[in-house]
Amino acid sequence: MKLTVVQTAPQQCKSDLAVYFVRQGEKKKAPACHDREVDAMIGRAFAAGDFAGKEGETLLYYPAGDGKKNGATRVLVVGLGKEQPGRETVRKAAGVAVACAVKTKAVRLLLVAPELAGMKADEIGECLAEGVVLGGYRFLKYKSRQEDDEAPGRIDAVSFYSGKDAAATRRGVRLGRAAAEAACVARDMANEPANFWTPGHFAEYGKGLATRYGFRCKVLDKAAMRKLKMGGVLGVNQGSDEPPQMVVLEYRTGKKVPTLLLVGKGLTFDSGGISLKPAAGMGEMKYDMCGGAAVLAAMAAVGEERPKRLDVVAIVPATENMPGPGAIKPGDVITQYGGKTVEVLNTDAEGRLILADALAYGIEKFKPAAVVDLATLTGAVIVGLGHHRTGLLSNDDKLVERLLAAGERSGEPLWRLPLAPEYSKQMKSTVADLKNVDKRDAGTITGAAFLQEFVGKTPWAHLDIAGTAWDFTEKSYIPKGPSGVGVRLLVELIRNWR
């Protein structure tokens, strides 16, 4: 999808679909548009009771003539609602526009950026670009070729017009595109079936990023993990034929700046191991690598933007969790990186075991100023928060504030859950230093309490994305299936780091 910012007036800019955005009128008045013809059409639709400018409401019409007037074959008006529009409103409105374009099989779009109090032109351009790219996402790799009348519409080019603010809009579109395309990469990874996205594919992708952007990349294989005594990853991997990989990517500014460590769970398929999951829904366990996908995809955006205030290191421990003949058994004891022993009472609580190795290793090696891990860790977070908020647990209030702000700006909201000594006490074992599960109560919190044992005093936050990595809140720019959640949140965190 080609994105450009134009200065040609919309009336002279040729497109298959020109999109205007309007606020809902006050006191039963029709919404207003600066374009006379569009405004007149809105007035007629409003008088007929067909369009009031409510959020997400649309008005589609075909201008008179041959499409040269207004420069568009079709004109779409999208309502922004009565409340003061914010970033998410603009993002969703752009997603609505893309859905209409796909339905009408429009190939070339023109989006006329609205003027909104409280939002600058670059911010509006950023959110429009995000909504367009994210809303236009499709995963059709494994679909057989369809007949022309059945094939979904495909948008080739999108132009943005914002009057005198072209330079600011161009900056915003560039930012929006980088973050959204990275999120689409994460969606692609998650959509791949587990036989086509293995730990080895994580390693290949990491090496590719290193080549493209000049990152340092190190991949720890099984032999290296044995030497380092990473019993968490090795133990989870015992039942699988696919060898484990730990991908380590480093972006360096070359300056004396803080390091942010990102760790993502890369379980490319989770059967539950010996503690086998039920058959219903097990196919979704190819999504258990969404944390790792988010971390590596965010690094692609880092490579594009080259932040100056921060070094960024990403680690993805990747493996399958299978019930093969060598699989780890309930009651086994393993030794994590750094020497702590863990009694494995449930082999389906495997994510914390591989994350513990990665966290302990990354903190010891890179001495980061802060650490954020992302993982589809617990079903308990879905019970508590549904599919609308990502669970956030942390040992540092300042890092929490930064993440909450990034979640708000990206439209990927977080909800903080408590961490306290009483939860950590629940994770003590009678035969080892720790156990990997306790009773089901507060499962999301105790999962984080387990991870906390491996971060020491380093500022750390854990994001449990099990409820938002797929089946996220229905939005115009979020498809069914994997959402790519976490990518744009991390990009916002990095962009606004002070």
Q: Among all residues, which ones are annotated catalytic? A: 277, 352
Reading the block at residue 196, the tokens are: 């086509």
Give burial (CB, 10 Å; 0-12/13-18/19+) of 480. Answer: exposed
Taking the C-alpha atoms of residue 77 and residue 64, their distance in angstroms, rounded to an integer, is 16
Q: Please report, for residues 217, 270, 353, 450, the alpha-carbon distance to residue 349 in angstroms, rounded to integers and kept in the order given.
A: 29, 10, 8, 11
Beta-strand relationship, 108-112 and 72-79? unpaired
Taking the C-alpha atoms of residue 153 and residue 106, their distance in angstroms, rounded to an integer, is 7
CB of 161 closer than 8 Å to CB of 4? no
Query: What sections of 7-139 are H helices per DSSP?
Result: 36-47, 87-104, 121-135
Alpha-carbon torsion angle 190, 192, 198, 202, nearest 10 = -50
At position 66, the amino acid (one-letter code) is D
CB of 444 closer than 8 Å to CB of 463? no
Angle at 17 between CA 21 and CA 71, to 5 degrees: 100
At position 439, the amino acid (one-letter code) is K
3-state helix, strand, coil in the chain (%, to 5): 40, 20, 40
- Nearest CA-CA partner of 490 in 187, 257, 289, 262: 262
